[in-house]
Amino acid sequence: MSRQLNSVISLTVVIAESYPVKSCNLDDLSYSCSTSSSEDTCCYENYGVILQTQFWDTDNGSDENVFTIHGLWDDKCDGSYDQYCDSSLELSNLQDMEQLISETFNNPDLYNTMSQYWLNDNGDNSELWIHEYNKHGTCFNTIQPSCFTGDYKKYENTVYFYEKVVEVWKTLPTYDFLEEALIVPSNDKTYKLSDIKQALKAKHGGEVYVGCTNGAINQIWYYFNVKGNVLNGDYKPIDSLTDDGCSEDVKYLPK
């Protein structure tokens, strides 16, 4: 990735979209996983733990110095999770994603960003997007069709889910966070897992999960609780609920 684009991402102040969902008075609500909850299921995410997950993948066709998107997941407050929660909301594997996002919902910028930064190892990016929405997106109770205002259009919640994934990802430029701590990709050097986690916690505010393959970083997960609707609510960083998948000595390989 060009350093210019990486800098743009790191300096971007992402303002939540005015999503067409029911209004929630955040002053009257608690964060998810608290002891109290709203009676309005459009204003309280029942599962409660939101993960923004990223890849550092040297095999997905991207040579850019950016951690690409894996997804936005909703876990239960104990770290467990359900999946494929509502088959009636799922996308078909035959869905034309460019047509759906760029044409039906008139958001070519979102489609282009997803095409550049939400990448599947096998080259079929739409397959990954569909999988991530069907597995995780259908489990968010605050983006059920009944939570939308106006005349709901089929798959409206799906496209706004994708938009939110990208929005949260833009606030977490992992490559830049690590570079600021002088942690950069190298074929020869190894880093301490504790140093990597400390650098990311300093930026995020909570402990992150670091995943490895063959001793090298391949994933980072950021954890949140949310107050209100997952689309336009307030995200609060929390510590990871998952044991790291790396040893103390970690490789960080160049793409």
Active site residues: 70, 132, 136
- Residue 47 and residue 76 in contact, taking contact as beta carbons nearer than 8 Å: yes
3-state SS assignment for residue 121: coil
Phi, psi of 140 (to 5 degrees): -80, 110
What is d(CA 83, CA 132) in angstroms, rounded to the nearest whole number? 10
Joined together, the tokens standing for residue 200 give 């990311």
Q: Give the span between the Cα atoms of 52 and 9, in whole angstroms.
A: 16
**Angle made by CA atoms 143, 145, 151, in degrees to the nearest 5:** 125
Round to whole Å and give the CA distance between 255 and 214. Answer: 15
Please answer whether residues 76 and 48 qualify as being in contact, where contact means their C-beta atoms are separated by less than 8 angstroms: yes
Please tell me the distance from the alpha carbon of residue 227 to that of residue 113, in angstroms, as a whole number.
Answer: 27
Helix/strand/coil for 146: helix
Q: Nearest Cα to 91, choosing from 137, 24, 22?
A: 137
- Integer Cα distance of 208 and 221 in angstroms: 6
